[in-house]
Amino acid sequence: MENAPEPIYSDTSIVVVQKPSGWLAIPDRYDPNAPVVLNALEKEFGRLFVVHRLDKDTSGLLVYARTAEAHRTLSEQFASRSVEKRYLAIVRGVPEEDEWVCDKPLLADADRFHHTVIDAKKGKPAFSRFVVRERYRDYSLVEVLPETGRTHQIRVHAAATGYPILADPLYGDGKPLLLSHLKRGWKGDVFEEKPLMGRTALHAEWIRFIHPGSGQTEEFSAPLPKDFSATVSQLRKLAHQNPVSS
């Protein structure tokens, strides 16, 4: 787990924070011992209103409202799908196509493990666009542009289209990425090796919305956390040594 969440912008209406992996956006009855971004921020900013969420493993941008009016305005933007968001994911597999979409309807909390499942009859509309940013050997860096914000949407849609997110324990194989698995002739202690990526490889990179106070368009971006950037760097290096065939 990384350091505490880092506020990157605040004013009288909103707080924008970079959430580390391992932190919950709000308290969760299923994981009562995990650190919570909302609790940490309220010590500094006072009462905050939850506008949207990120999964515990997901790193990146979160926006909280500081007033009831700001919360109402932002919530309306999310509900009307006028908020633009971009995520980065490392997926297993190397897509031939440069872009694809998934619009399968989703039903959350479908079983005792709280999975989200594809359900054509009971599911809510969901739409995700995927764009390949880089291809490696056996993996790819993918940009995800979700138009809806269903629970676990990106993770379910990625898996449904044949490219599960690396190390996703619910919708992928959950296996961490180890350098020893990538690099031929790796010499090291297998008992002391730490994963390059040991959590769901998903990062909320960018967001754009209308500021609830000024009415101006605002956008924010969050750099990749260390585990994500180190994994991408290593995959690039190995892909350069062993190019992906076209």
Examine residue 228 and state whether it is found in any structural domain, yes or no: yes
Domain assignment present for 237: yes
Q: For residue 213, is it within any domain? A: yes
Q: Which of 32-36, 59-63, 107-111, 142-146 has the lowest mean pLDDT?
A: 107-111
b/e map 197-231, b = 16+ CB within 10 Å: bbbbbbbbbbbebbebbeeeebebebebbebbeeb
Domain annotation covers residue 166? yes
Q: Using CA atoms, how far apart are residues 62 and 244, in angstroms rounded to an integer?
A: 35
**Closest to 195 (Cα-Cα) out of 174, 179, 183, 182:** 179
Q: At 1, is the pLDDT very low, low, confident or very high (cuts 50, 70, 90)?
A: very low
**Minimum mean pLDDT among 158-162, 176-180, 188-192: which range?**
188-192
Q: Is residue 1 part of a domain?
A: no
Stated pTM of the model: 0.93
Residue 37, domain member (yes or no): yes
Segments forming the whole domain that contains residue 136: 6-241
Domain-located, residue 246? no
Provide DSSP, the chain.
Answer: --S--EEEEE-SSEEEEEEPTT-BSS--TT-TTS-BHHHHHHHHH-S-EE-----TT-EEEEEEESSHHHHHHHHHHHHTT--EEEEEEEEES--SSSEEEE---EESS-STT---EE-TTTPBP--EEEEEEEE-SSEEEEEEEESS--TTHHHHHHHHTT-PBTT-TTTS--PPB-HHHHSTT--S-TTTPPPSB-S--EEEEEEEEE-TTT--EEEEE-PPPHHHHHHHHHHHHHHHHSPPP-
The reply to whether 55 belongs to the active site is yes
Q: What is the CATH number of the domain that holds 222?
A: 3.30.2350.10
Provide the number of structural domains found in the chain: 1
Q: Active-site residue among 55, 57, 168, 227?
A: 55
Structure confidence at residue 110 as a pLDDT band (50, 70, 90) = low
Specify the pLDDT at position 183. Answer: 76
Is 152 inside a domain boundary? yes
